Amino acid sequence: MKNIKKICIAVCWLMIWQIVAVLIHNKILLAGPIESATALVNMAGTPDFATSVITSVLHIVAGIVMGAVLGILLGALSLKFRLLGDFVSPIVTVLKSVPVASFVVLILIWIGSDNLSTVIVTLVVFPIIYLATTSGFTAADKELLEMAHVYRMPTPNKIRFIYIPALIPSYIGAFFVAVGMGFKSGAAAEVIGQPLLTMGNGLYRSKINLDTAEVFAWTFTIVLASWITEKIFLLLIFICKKIFMPGAQTADNKSGKEA
């Protein structure tokens, strides 16, 4: 029933989009969903389309992974060593505040456009995962930690049975945001930096040609790639949740049945 409701809402918005496009009657200003779908099909039939999508997705996913690894490692170390946390905190604040365009210009000057999106996505994702890591560790059950200290629980067991269950809820929301922000910033970096055979380059060429239908088609492709990547990351997190929090998994299932 829930899926049917979502489909009906999506169809309504598509109809509104088509009606507005017909009323404007100018494909440069606003192409309708039919024209955009046709443009997407035509694009998908070209050899450069698959190469552009794969290249962009690989670069952006690499940036997400690198940003996540840095965020997890530095987040954990910052709580262990307070001086390191004080040292990293201003960097996190700057990365959260400075516009992506500023970083894009600097990275273009320093390393060129080939790996631009990877570096930009890393810089965008890092503070999100860093803050999720610090908040997750802080949320760990204090009584369990005291008990672990009293019984001299080995550090690997502390990580597995106390810290990871505390981190997983933070990471679910963090990766949900990080993947979306990663694709937005990565595509924006490609539009500005213009590396060849990327989704951002395709989007820019569509804009130069005043082909609004292709702009919508490339936008849909980026959104779809982001959605699929997001589901993969969340699936990995839920697998970890099932492994490290079997009790919580059972409780979720019971509450779902009761509802």
Q: Is residue 15 in a domain?
A: no
Tokens of 111: 């390393």
Predicted TM-score of the model (pTM): 0.85
Domains identified in the chain, total number: 1
Say how far apart CA 177 and CA 129 lie, in whole Å: 10
Question: Do the domain assignments include residue 128?
Answer: yes
Instruction: Give the model's pLDDT for residue 247.
Output: 57
Label each residue of the chain as H, E or C. Answer: CHHHHHHHHHHHHHHHHHHHHHHHCCCCCCCCHHHHHHHHHHHHCCHHHHHHHHHHHHHHHHHHHHHHHHHHHHHHHHHHCHHHHHHHHHHHHHHHHCCHHHHHHHHHHHHCCCCHHHHHHHHHHHHHHHHHHHHHHHCCCHHHHHHHHHCCCCHHHHHHHHHHHHHHHHHHHHHHHHHHHHHHHHHHHHHHHCCCCCHHHHHHHHHHCCCHHHHHHHHHHHHHHHHHHHHHHHHHHHHHHHHHCHHHHHHHHHHHHHC
Output the pLDDT for position 258. Answer: 42
217 in Cβ contact with 40 (< 8 Å): yes
pLDDT score of 96: 85
The pLDDT assigned to 128 comes to: 93
User: Distance (Å, rounded) from C-alpha 72 to C-alpha 64?
Assistant: 12
pLDDT for res 255: 37
For position 45, what pLDDT does the model report?
A: 87
Within-domain flag for 40: no
Q: Does residue 155 belong to any structural domain of this protein?
A: yes
Query: CA distances (Å), 140 to each of 58, 114, 169, 171, in order?
Result: 34, 41, 11, 14
Asked if residue 254 belongs to a domain, the reply is no
**pLDDT the model gives residue 248:** 52
> Is residue 4 in a domain?
no
Q: Quick check: is 63 in a domain? A: yes
Domain with 143 in it: 46-245
Per-residue pLDDT of the chain (259 residues; tens, 9 = 90+): 777 888 888 899 989 999 999 998 888 888 989 999 999 999 998 889 999 999 999 999 999 999 999 999 998 898 888 888 889 889 998 888 888 888 888 888 888 888 899 999 999 999 999 999 988 877 776 777 777 777 777 777 777 777 787 788 888 889 889 999 999 999 999 999 888 889 999 999 998 988 899 999 999 999 999 999 999 988 888 887 787 766 554 444 443 444 3
- Cα–Cα distance, 252 to 199 (Å, whole number): 39
* Residue 61 lies inside a defined structural domain of this protein: yes
> What CATH number does residue 63 fall under?
1.10.3720.10
